[in-house]
Structure 1
Amino acid sequence: MSLNCAVVALAVSPEDGATEAVLDAVERAGAVVETHNWVRVTGTASDGQAADVEGYNALTVRVQTEDPQQLRRALQPDPQRQLLPGIDLNVVPHTWFDQSRKKLVVLDVDSTLIRQEVIELLAAHVGREAEVAAVTERAMRGEIDFAASLRERVAVLEGLPASVIDDVAAAVRLSPGAKVLVQTLLREGHAVAAVSGGFSQVLDPLAARLELTRAAANELEIQDGVLTGRVAGRIVDRAVKAEVMGQWAQELGVAPEDVMAVGDGANDIDMARAAGLSVAYRAKPALREVADTQLSLPNLDALRFFLDL
């Protein structure tokens, strides 16, 4: 039995012949093209607050296919490499275009919802940003245990005045398109959440400003106005991220298949596997291997096209 789904092709500047190349790839994979439509989104439209944001192009192809998973494999045979250079080809189930179904979009924070890694911004205050960044990179590639690496990185912050957290929070910049994406989803009645291996002292005010539906992160331990170099409570690692995402979906009455997880590193793998649709956003190889879809261009706003918004 043929099923409806969509192929969403995303590119910053598609070359001449891009439409034909995408449609040919879809048809060679055995799908039947019903309709297709390009939309050009300018940088200003996707992120009016950032002068350095590039626009992008989105081609939505409505198709009929006997096997959506086989179509996905055909259009993304190697998760580390685009089938058509410069174009992400993503297969999205038809249910994601059904506006009567409430969706929950759960975003990782560091290098996803925001441009930076908060732990590195904090480490810069003790002159150890490069050292901490190297550990972060290994953790996000899945080469070392996240919880152990977090303890190691947080330990370098011992003795810093807690006031540096406010300085770091002020320096945080949203990723391109993040604000428009969140506003659009909330306006349409969907839920948006953020779960982070970073820190609640930075995420909570950001979540309040964006009016996120839910937010969770680690807590930096503070005593007498000074960072102790430890994390208070259980660490938000990859397993906890997936657990929290599931709890939120249940609380909000969202079906598991209507949950989207968006992240960039190995710490997002468990929630990617648990989500109805997972997105690797400019991601490390470990997450690309397991995610359903890819967003390589630097603009979160493009995720609207996965929901036909």
Structure 2
Amino acid sequence: ALSYHGYVISTHLLIIVGPSIPDDLLADFEKLGVVILEQRPVPTDALDGVELVVRFEGSAADLSAVASEHGVDVALLPVGSSVSRGLICLDCDSTLITGEVIEMLAAHAGKEAEVAEVTDRAMRGELDFEESLRERVAVLKGLDESVIATVSQAIELTPGVKDALATLKTQGYRVAVVSGGFIQVLEPLARELDLDYVRANTLEIEDGRLTGRVTGKVVDRKAKEEFLREFAADLGLEMEQTVAVGDGANDIDMINASGLGIAFNAKPALREHADVAINLPTLAGLVQILGASSLRDDK
């Protein structure tokens, strides 16, 4: 029910984040049928933000389209939930970091463009991930293992993610990264970011050179979901208490299994499965989205 004894009852929290919040944005939202009942500022050091308690029966996609025109992101979250979320699990390439490690490695073999094309098709869901991974790794055969350290040093974290994860950890979150990339590259990041769980593929090395193969079970779409469930069970959490963040088709099962799925500058194949889409080139907004009143126990 949207009313009780004449009082209007809220249906959602609407979180808006961006470099600044345009003056005319709320008016445009009201034209879409958003009834604003309460609002409070939720700025961070990196982004401006506002949290609105609203009544809204329209389309979240319409809100996102208007938000995009104004250069901001929005998250529309149902009210009435006091779930305490305790685990956030992120994809690595193009989510935690800005690039694709396999392409950076392939550049040292003169095959970057060729590998990038296969990566893009895999992330759109057009190719089987395991098959495409093995095809791409094969071009690395013969590279000296020192290339791993070279690429690791060249990796750039996605803007805002380091501070956001540090803040979430102070709020009690555990942080995991599951990657279709490579553990040898992720391990230094895991130490830098104080990650609680890390899973990725392992590049096979013989006599100081890459063999063009990976060892063990491939971390594909299904494995990412399995790892998310494993981490939650290890922490004694229900799946509704988990958050997953990703950008490609390989993240769909993880996003679907999580309590809150967040698409970050994602391919359409993933975006349609996510609860929230972040389209700004920063993950600083995670703090506002996950700090929303409906996600806290103190409400």
TM-score range, shorter chain: 0.7 to 0.9
SS in structure 1 at match of 2:273 = coil
Pair 106,91 (structure 1): closer, same or farther in 2 beyond 3 Å: same
Aligned 1:210-221 pairs, distance under 5 A: 210-221=193-204
Q: What percentage of residue pairs aligned between the two structures are identical?
A: 46
SS in structure 2 at match of 1:286 = helix
1:255 to 211, 219, 238: 238
2:86 to 96, 99, 103: 103
Question: Normalization by structure 2: what TM-score?
Answer: 0.88
Partner residue, 2:7: none
Equivalent-residue separation in structure 1 for 2:23 and 2:37 (angstroms): 22
Tell me whether 1:74 sits opposite 2:65 in the alignment. no
1:143 to 126, 130, 142: 126
Equivalent-residue separation in structure 2 for 1:135 and 1:235 (angstroms): 17
Aligned 1:227-238 pairs, distance under 5 A: 227-238=210-221
Partner residue, 1:63: 54
Pair 17,64 (structure 1): closer, same or farther in 2 beyond 3 Å: closer
8 Å CA contact 1:96, 1:307 repeated in 2: no
1:267 to 247, 250, 253: 250
Pair 38,218 (structure 1): closer, same or farther in 2 beyond 3 Å: same
Partner residue, 2:296: none
Equivalent-residue separation in structure 2 for 1:285 and 1:124 (angstroms): 27
Tell me whether 1:242 sits opposite 2:244 in the alignment. no
Structure 2: tracts of 5 or more residues without a match: 3-9, 293-299
8 Å CA contact 2:85, 2:242 repeated in 1: no
Letter of the 2:49 partner, please give it. Answer: A
Alpha-carbon distance, 1:120 to partner: 0.6
Pair 244,173 (structure 1): closer, same or farther in 2 beyond 3 Å: same
- CA RMSD in angstroms comes to 2.1
Partner residue, 1:53: none
Alpha-carbon distance, 1:24 to partner: 4.4
Partner residue, 1:33: 36
Alpha-carbon distance, 1:229 to partner: 0.2
1:45-70: CA deviations, max 9, x gaps? 33xxxxxxxxx3322112356xxxxx
Partner residue, 1:50: none
8 Å CA contact 1:12, 1:297 repeated in 2: no
Number of residue pairs the alignment of both structures matches: 283
Letter of the 2:241 partner, please give it. Answer: D
Question: Normalization by structure 1: what TM-score?
Answer: 0.85
1:194-245: CA deviations, max 9, x gaps? 0000000011121111111111000001111110000100110010000100
8 Å CA contact 1:102, 1:191 repeated in 2: no
SS in structure 2 at match of 1:247 = helix
Structure 1: tracts of 5 or more residues without a match: 47-55, 66-70
Partner residue, 2:6: none
Tell me whether 1:112 sits opposite 2:115 in the alignment. no
2:29 to 22, 47, 62: 22
8 Å CA contact 2:164, 2:287 repeated in 1: yes
8 Å CA contact 1:97, 1:307 repeated in 2: no
Letter of the 2:166 partner, please give it. Answer: Q
Alpha-carbon distance, 1:293 to partner: 0.7
8 Å CA contact 2:265, 2:279 repeated in 1: yes
Equivalent-residue separation in structure 2 for 1:59 and 1:142 (angstroms): 35
8 Å CA contact 1:5, 1:62 repeated in 2: yes
Aligned 1:47-196 pairs, distance under 5 A: 56-63=47-54, 71=57, 74-77=59-62, 82-84=65-67, 85=69, 86-94=71-79, 101-196=84-179
8 Å CA contact 1:161, 1:225 repeated in 2: yes
Letter of the 1:300 partner, please give it. Answer: L
1:145-165: CA deviations, max 9, x gaps? 111110010000000111110
